[in-house]
Amino acid sequence: MTKWLSISDVKEKIVATSAEEVTASYLETIEKSSINGYTCISDGALDAAKMVDKGEVAGPLAGVPIAIKDNISTKGLATTCSSKILEGYVPPYDAHVIERLKAAGAVIIGKTNMDEFAMGTSTESSCYGVTLNPWDHERVPGGSSGGSAAVVAAGEAPISLGSDTGGSVRCPAAFCGVVGLKPTYGAVSRYGLISYANSLEQIGPMATCVEDIAAVMDVIGGYDARDSTSIDKKIDHQAALVDDVKGLKIGVPDEYFGEGVDTGTEKAVWDAINKFEEMGASWEKVSMPNTKYALAAYYTIAMSEASSNLARFDGTRYGPRSDGENWHVMASRTRAENFGKEVQRRILLGTYALSAGYQDKYYLKALQVRTLVKQDFERAFANFDVLMAPTMPLPAFKIGEKVEDPLSQYLTDVNTVPMNLAGVPCISVPCGSSDGLPVGLQIIGNHFDEATLIRTAYSFEKNTDHNKARPGEVA
């Protein structure tokens, strides 16, 4: 059984058996899966594992299977953003992160389900249907990287990659009881990530433990000239795996515990903060007054960028093409027939926010608010090493519960979008449960201070049992 192996477990198994056998056993587990976490499986996975066995490929992740979100380009392997408009699209090149993973010996096992074009918090807007939360099949896995989190939680991959524009790594990590990191903006190249809102998003890893997050970050992080927002700054994530938070100063922003936060969630997060105090850290409340404007600014900016980024999908270059007597008719029919409802809604709203006469009122105003939100973080990090808050205000909701009312789903992003506006790194770690469902503790750090984030999260994991809880078992 391949269930819930960490990278070091996988490596031990490879020594005892072979990389081929390890990959084969994951493929077998995936075959029996009932959660709909993968959109496709790589034909090349077993061959890649065999190359490791033959010693043709070596590296820090040699033979370790990894699942990849369906919006990250993989050469020769379908990449559709879980959208009908990219049906049949097979990228001719690898994203930067995939090149790095392959060079490190990792085995790309398959692509994972997501909200269409990463727009959502539940994976329900995928053209492949929803992924089921391994803890409760009636509930969503979170989104938009729901597949990536669910396959790790279900033992169908030891590690995965997602992308986080406004919470899409942290939300599903919290809902599925795994660890998920959104790196500092610019720390991981976006080359080959199909853009939703490029000024906000970063690729980030998910895993069952912080050690594995650090191992993947050391492979995928770092400068890439092909991403103009990539920043040349060396971060040694694995060196930060130190169990010590003595003297750590934690800020607890009041605004993240506002109305609508579920009581079980609030309790689990406070228990975690008190645990840090026991471990030698100190905490104090901090006010981040512009948090209340973050959600509106985020959605205005994200939809505006989406309306521009998604203009390239028009039936000319990729995917299906509808009939039409001229280009305009063909393109608009292709878009109307192949983009889902949520994507169309966002393109329309984004186009509106950017249109002449409204731009100053909406888009430019949102950019000003973005600066204010960033200043809240600057002020907080002048006094604190990290901030802590619930990742999500509530545990995984029921499938269908928020489909008819998109606004109610947008509102659940209240605690995750400010970090994308500010570009700061953040990690979600399991910290207990509410009504039997996992709760995520969000730890937020200053720009490029992933080291402190990793050390804090690692210490928590070493001194508690929360990350040992698995679906179907009571921790």
Active site residue ranges? 69, 144, 168
Residues that bind ligand GLN (CB under 6 A): 118-121, 144, 164-168, 196, 302, 413
The C-alpha atoms of residue 425 and residue 455 are separated, in whole angstroms, by 13
Amino acid at site 428: S
Q: Whose Cβ is closer to ligand GLN: residue 63's or residue 147's?
A: 147
Q: Whose Cβ is closer to ligand GLN: residue 131's or residue 165's?
A: 165
**Complete DSSP assignment for 272-313:** HHHHHHHTT-EEEEE--TTHHHHHHHHHHHHHHHHHHHGGG-
Terminal-residue alpha carbon distance, the chain: 20
Taking the CB of residue 312, how many other CB atoms lie within 10 A of it?
A: 11
* Numbers of helices and strands, H then E, in the chain: 15, 11
Name, in order, each residue with C-beta under 8 angstroms of 278's C-beta and a sequence gap of 6 or more.
none
The C-alpha atoms of residue 161 and residue 86 are separated, in whole angstroms, by 20
Rounded to the nearest whole angstrom, what is the least distance from the CB of residue 349 to ligand GLN in the complex? 12
Rounded to the nearest whole angstrom, what is the least distance from the CB of residue 144 to ligand GLN in the complex? 4
Of 164, 88, 176, 166, the C-alpha closest to 131 is 176
Rounded to the nearest whole angstrom, what is the least distance from the CB of residue 416 to ligand GLN in the complex? 7
Q: Whose Cβ is closer to ligand GLN: residue 198's or residue 375's?
A: 198
The C-alpha atoms of residue 429 and residue 412 are separated, in whole angstroms, by 18
The C-alpha atoms of residue 162 and residue 138 are separated, in whole angstroms, by 23
Rounded to the nearest whole angstrom, what is the least distance from the CB of residue 400 to ligand GLN in the complex? 17
Rounded to the nearest whole angstrom, what is the least distance from the CB of residue 24 to ligand GLN in the complex? 32
Q: Whose Cβ is closer to ligand GLN: residue 346's or residue 455's?
A: 346
The residue number with the shortest CB distance to ligand GLN is 168
Q: Whose Cβ is closer to ligand GLN: residue 101's or residue 119's?
A: 119
Name, in order, each residue with C-beta under 8 angstroms of 374's C-beta and a sequence gap of 6 or more.
421, 422, 423
